[in-house]
């Protein structure tokens, strides 16, 4: 039988290694007309496809749609590179970087279109791809959720929307954009894809366990969460937690179990991801403009996006943005300082991930952090984030002038 599970199992390498290549995009589930595939959550909290052999008719579609088994053929160079940020106060304060994803979303909706992006669920225990066609609903998409969202049903919904002829914007991780493009199997003029620079993604189980620890400690229910809050600036990534009892907590995100977990415990496929640098099917790729100096003309303390346009469609969309400052920059300047763009985590980090995962599954999140976190994490954990922000400011005031 040629179904997806067998494909992984039939390969020369071990089942574990092969299953770990699966990025959890759900394209195989979406393409199967017999509904023989369902995504199941494993012990680590990541979703994998499971095939019901009684329903499978051996058509092979699930194998042909997979964006991992089928290597990405598009490695053309980017047409243009930009730095930029939104000049709209609400957007720049709500978004993760310079707000280009939100600016593109607004443009799409104003042109009568729909946007697909990711929001948290109501109790902050998971995330999901959703469809938005109103500006009022757009704000739940803002900012990065570093946990992997569920995607069930989303590919068919995007296709349905494309067939209406209205503009459609899909924002997601590179493997999800690739999965969508393979699922659609043809070009649509009304589709614009915007993918994120992506260093990897962690599981919803990490957030669920973190929330439980925090709620117990604070003695109240978590009612709002943002891991890229800008109240204290953009350079040091702050988590903001709001509790039902009125308590509001800011912390360096990478000095929390959640932030450290995101760095130490990514989906296994992220440790050998092929969707890096030019290898992508997107129109536009966006991230944080790391390495920017406060002397650069496109500097903004509230956040700057790095933006790469791969297609002419992407360039047109960017040039049509309203309330957005767009500066063309050198490709090397835009990308060199971004580890998530340049490559995958090292073998040493992958080995450490296994230790984290073992402790996380068989003990708990706290133990996984205690066993694997380096001194630099504990400094961030114990020392207030205002100190890190001051250090960063000092660093930039000295280095950027040189
Ligand atoms: C898992 C992950 C890893 C990342 N790694 C890097 C990196 O290594 N380097 C880097 O420069 N940038 C990285 N980013 C991107 C960065 O954090 C910002 O998301 C990006 O710069 C967009 O910022 P913005 O201000 O334009 O977006 P905003 O205007 O804030 O909009 C955010 C957009 O991201 C989408 N989104 C949020 N969470 C997810 C998710 N879990 N999956 C798919 N889509 C999502 C939303 O739907 C929304 O459209 C990563 C993002 C994610 C989610
Ligand atoms: S019916 Fe086709 S698409 Fe569905 S699981 Fe079987 S081979 Fe895959
Ligand atoms: S990568 Fe996507 S299409 Fe391939 S097996 Fe995993 S979920 Fe299915
Ligand atoms: S690193 Fe690669 S596999 Fe992992 S979420 Fe990002 S694009 Fe997908």
pLDDT tens for residues 283-305?
A: 999 999 998 988 899 999 999 99
Span 331-337, mean pLDDT? Answer: 93
Of 13-17, 168-172, 249-253, least confident by mean pLDDT is 13-17
Pairing of strands 47-51, 37-41: antiparallel
Same domain assignment for residues 135 and 172: yes
Residue where a domain stops, chosen among 302, 322, 342: 342
Judged against a pLDDT cut of 70, whether residue 2 lies above it is answered with yes
pLDDT digits (tens, 9 = 90+) for 51-88: 898 999 999 999 999 999 998 888 999 999 999 999 99
Same domain assignment for residues 171 and 319: yes
Instruction: Look at residue 396 in the predicted model and tell me its pLDDT.
Output: 74
pTM score, whole prediction? 0.95
Q: Are 377 and 261 in contact (CB under 8 A)?
A: no
Instruction: Look at residue 393 in the predicted model and tell me its pLDDT.
Output: 78
Same domain assignment for residues 252 and 358: yes
Largest CA-CA distance found in the chain, in angstroms, rounded: 67
109 within a domain of the structure (yes/no): yes
19 within a domain of the structure (yes/no): yes
**Band (271; pLDDT cuts 50, 70, 90):** very high
Residue where a domain stops, chosen among 33, 65, 97: 65
Residue where a domain stops, chosen among 313, 342, 371: 342
3-class DSSP state for residue 128? strand
74 within a domain of the structure (yes/no): no
Q: Closest by alpha carbon to 271, among 199, 198, 344, 353?
A: 344
Q: Whose CA is nearest to atom 3 of ligand 4?
A: 270
Same domain assignment for residues 57 and 190: no
Same domain assignment for residues 329 and 276: yes
71 within a domain of the structure (yes/no): no
Of 181-185, 203-207, 334-338, 365-369, least confident by mean pLDDT is 334-338
Strand ranges inside 238-323, DSSP E = 238-243, 248-252, 284-288, 305-309
Judged against a pLDDT cut of 80, whether residue 374 lies above it is answered with yes
394 within a domain of the structure (yes/no): yes
Span 385-399, mean pLDDT? Answer: 78
Q: How far is the CA of 336 from the centre of ligand 3 (A)?
A: 30
Judged against a pLDDT cut of 80, whether residue 250 lies above it is answered with yes
Atom of ligand 3 nearest to the CA of 7: 5
Q: Whose CA is nearest to atom 6 of ligand 3?
A: 22
Same domain assignment for residues 291 and 260: no
Q: Which domain holds residue 59?
A: 4-65
Same domain assignment for residues 328 and 355: no
Instruction: Look at residue 1 in the predicted model and tell me its pLDDT.
Output: 62
Judged against a pLDDT cut of 60, whether residue 9 lies above it is answered with no
How far does CA 327 lie from the centroid of its chain? 24
Same domain assignment for residues 130 and 185: yes
Judged against a pLDDT cut of 80, whether residue 26 lies above it is answered with yes
* pLDDT, averaged across the chain: 92
Same domain assignment for residues 118 and 132: yes
Alpha-carbon distances, residue 240 vs 143, 144, 212, 256 (angstroms): 12, 13, 16, 11
Instruction: Look at residue 216 in the predicted model and tell me its pLDDT.
Output: 97
Ligand 2 pocket, residue 27 CB under 6 Å: no
3-class DSSP state for residue 74? coil
Span 91-97, mean pLDDT? Answer: 96
Q: Phi and psi at residue 227, in whole multiples of 5°?
A: -90, 0
Q: How far is the CA of 65 from the centre of ligand 3 (A)?
A: 8
73 within a domain of the structure (yes/no): no
**Band (15; pLDDT cuts 50, 70, 90):** low
Judged against a pLDDT cut of 70, whether residue 153 lies above it is answered with yes
Q: Closest by alpha carbon to 276, among 196, 365, 170, 193?
A: 196
Same domain assignment for residues 301 and 372: no
161 within a domain of the structure (yes/no): yes
Same domain assignment for residues 9 and 86: no
Sign of CA dihedral 55, 58, 61, 65: positive
Judged against a pLDDT cut of 70, whether residue 18 lies above it is answered with no
Helices (H), 141-266: 154-163, 174-184, 204-218, 257-264
Q: How far is the CA of 32 from the centre of ligand 2 (A)?
A: 5
Domain total of the chain: 3
Q: How far apart are the first and last CA of the chain?
A: 63
Judged against a pLDDT cut of 90, whether residue 30 lies above it is answered with yes
**Band (233; pLDDT cuts 50, 70, 90):** confident
Ligand 3 pocket, residue 273 CB under 6 Å: no
Same domain assignment for residues 93 and 187: yes
Q: Are 154 and 26 in contact (CB under 8 A)?
A: yes
Give percent of the chain with pLDDT exceeding 90.
Answer: 79
358 within a domain of the structure (yes/no): yes
User: Rounded to whole angstroms, how far apart are CA atoms 243 and 234?
Assistant: 23
**Band (50; pLDDT cuts 50, 70, 90):** confident
């Amino acid at each position: 039988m040629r179904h997806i599970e067998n494909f992984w199992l039939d390969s020369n390498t071990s089942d574990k290694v092969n299953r770990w290549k699966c990025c959890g995009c759900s394209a195989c589930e979406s393409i199967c007309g017999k509904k023989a595939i369902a995504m199941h959550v494993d012990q680590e909290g990541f979703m994998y496809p499971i095939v019901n052999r009684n329903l499978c008719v051996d058509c092979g579609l699930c194998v042909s749609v997979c964006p991992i088994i089928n290597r990405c053929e598009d490695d053309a160079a980017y047409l243009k590179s930009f730095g930029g940020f939104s000049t709209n106060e609400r957007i720049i304060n709500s978004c993760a970087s310079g707000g280009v994803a939100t600016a593109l979303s607004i443009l799409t909706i104003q042109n009568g279109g729909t946007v697909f992006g990711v929001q948290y669920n109501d109790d902050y225990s998971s995330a999901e791809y959703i469809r938005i066609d109103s500006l009022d609903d757009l704000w739940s998409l803002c900012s990065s959720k570093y946990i992997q969202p569920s995607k069930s049903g989303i590919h068919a919904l995007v296709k349905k929307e494309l067939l209406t002829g209205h503009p459609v914007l899909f924002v997601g991780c590179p493997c999800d954009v690739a999965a969508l493009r393979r699922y659609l199997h043809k070009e649509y003029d009304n589709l614009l894809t915007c993918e994120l620079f992506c260093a990897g993604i962690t599981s919803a189980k990490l957030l669920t366990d973190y929330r439980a620890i925090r709620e117990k400690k604070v003695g109240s229910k978590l009612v709002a969460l943002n891991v890229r809050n800008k109240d204290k600036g953009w350079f040091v990534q702050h988590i903001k937690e709001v509790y039902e009892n009125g308590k509001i907590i800011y912390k360096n995100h990478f000095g929390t179990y959640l932030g450290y977990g995101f760095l130490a415990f990514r989906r296994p496929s992220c440790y050998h991801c092929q969707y890096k640098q030019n290898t992508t099917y997107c129109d536009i790729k966006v991230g944080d403009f790391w390495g920017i100096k406060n002397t650069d003309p496109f500097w903004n303390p509230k956040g700057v996006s790095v933006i790469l346009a791969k297609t002419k469609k992407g360039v047109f969309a960017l040039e049509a943005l309203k309330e957005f400052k767009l500066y063309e920059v050198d490709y090397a300047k835009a990308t060199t300082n971004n580890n998530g763009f340049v490559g995958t985590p090292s073998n040493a980090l992958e080995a450490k991930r296994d230790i984290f995962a073992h402790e996380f599954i068989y003990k708990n999140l706290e133990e996984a952090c205690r066993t694997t976190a380096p001194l630099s994490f504990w400094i961030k954990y114990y020392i207030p984030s205002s100190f890190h922000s001051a250090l960063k400011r000092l660093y930039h005031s000295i280095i950027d002038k040189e």
